[in-house]
Amino acid sequence: MSVTLSNLLGVLRIGALFAVTAIAEITGCYLPWLVLRQGRPAWLWLPAFACLGVFAWLLSLHPWAAGRTYAAYGGVYIAVALGWLALVEGVAPTRWDLLGAGVALLGMAIIVVQPRGGA
């Protein structure tokens, strides 16, 4: 299968949806972490639950089997989590972090552009 503009745009579109999905998941997990580890107000559980609901809904928007969606999403999640590390937590990712994220994103792209014949 050759790489076409349509394939590339599809990967970018799916990658963007996965990035929004990852932000919802990370936010939904980070808020309780703040409550449990840093003593922040308990009301943060409410937006955390909402974020996790949005996360699940966003994953359901993909046309593939759930396992394939989760596998592809994992690559984007890794990259977004490292962006979160830098932007929210103020910790610069290492070159090893970035290399790992690149490998994970390559894996996501391979899963997304695979031929759709058969199973």
45: exposed, middle or buried (C-beta count within 10 Å: 0-12, 13-18, 19+)? middle
User: Both tokens of residue 78?
Assistant: 């890794």
For residue 75, the enclosing domain spans 5-113
24: exposed, middle or buried (C-beta count within 10 Å: 0-12, 13-18, 19+)? buried
The answer to whether position 119 is within a domain reads no
- Number of structural domains the chain divides into: 1
- One digit per residue, pLDDT tens: the chain, 119 residues? 566 888 778 778 888 999 999 999 999 999 999 999 999 999 999 999 999 999 999 999 987 888 888 998 999 999 999 999 999 999 999 999 999 999 999 998 888 888 876 45
DSSP structure string for 93-117: PPHHHHHHHHHHHHHHHHHHHS--S
The answer to whether position 18 is within a domain reads yes
The answer to whether position 118 is within a domain reads no
- What pLDDT is recorded for position 62? 83
- What pLDDT is recorded for position 117? 63
30 touches 88 (CB < 8 A) = yes
